Amino acid sequence: MYKSRASRELIAASEETLTDCLYHNPVTLADVEALIPALSRNYKLLNRLSTNIGLYHARRHIPPPALESMLTHIFTHDDYKYSLFPRTTAQIERFEHEHAEYQLRLLTPLQRKSKQKDEAFQRRKAAAKVHRAADHIRMSIPPRYGTKSAHSFLPDGCSSIANIITEVDGMKWTQALHVIRAPWYMLMLNRAPIQCC
């Protein structure tokens, strides 16, 4: 399509104005909804938009519910060729990481050491909680379901089919045992149903 010189200059001026606006102001959901379908092929503006979302979210100008709505809109209206969604999520992670490092640099050495100790303690606490939950699940396994035969087809680290079901589906052992006892599941395994205790 032929464009006159005046229209090209007008388009360039409006793009420059929009880029400047994206540089200085946080976007809203309405802005994202207006920009994404209309300018989905303008790489410069989409790059500026993803940077804007990441930067202003890290500065807490874009609240998490609005960010989620923006990412949902971007994901559903994204052009695979320009891949705005992965760029936006990468920018969010980048600026959150930079913001956390900046906040850490503002602390005194004693505060920084205390914060790092607290974060390490919280990580150890969360890992211990996961380990206790796994131990509790293992202890609740009835002995006949927890043994693995020598000619088993189960992957390493899994001692039974119930173990696989609880790990993958997040079920409790009682739920997994109901699934295992189901006739359709036994037909799939080509075995007779396990009798209830």
Would residue 46 be called left, alpha or beta, if left means φ above 0 and alpha means ψ between -120 and 50 degrees? Answer: alpha
**Greater model confidence, 191 or 182:** 182
Q: What is the pLDDT of residue 1?
A: 47
Note whether 157 and 135 are within 8 A (CB).
no
For 64, other C-beta atoms within 10 Å of its C-beta total 9
Q: Annotate 39-52 with b (16+ C-beta within 10 A) or e (fewer).
A: ebebeebbbbbbbb
Residue with the two structure tokens 């850490």: 104
Note whether 56 and 86 are within 8 A (CB).
no
- pLDDT bucket at 186, cuts 50 / 70 / 90: very low
**Greater model confidence, 50 or 162:** 50
pTM: 0.55
- The rounded distance, in Å, linking the Cα atoms of 7 and 75 is 32
CA angle 10, 15, 18 (to 5 degrees): 125
DSSP collapsed to 3 states, 91-121: HHHHHHHHHHHHHHHHCCHHHHHHHHHHHHH
Reported as a single tens digit per residue, the pLDDT across 112-139 is 889 889 989 999 998 888 888 777 766 7
- The rounded distance, in Å, linking the Cα atoms of 169 and 166 is 6
Average pLDDT over residues 68-76: 90
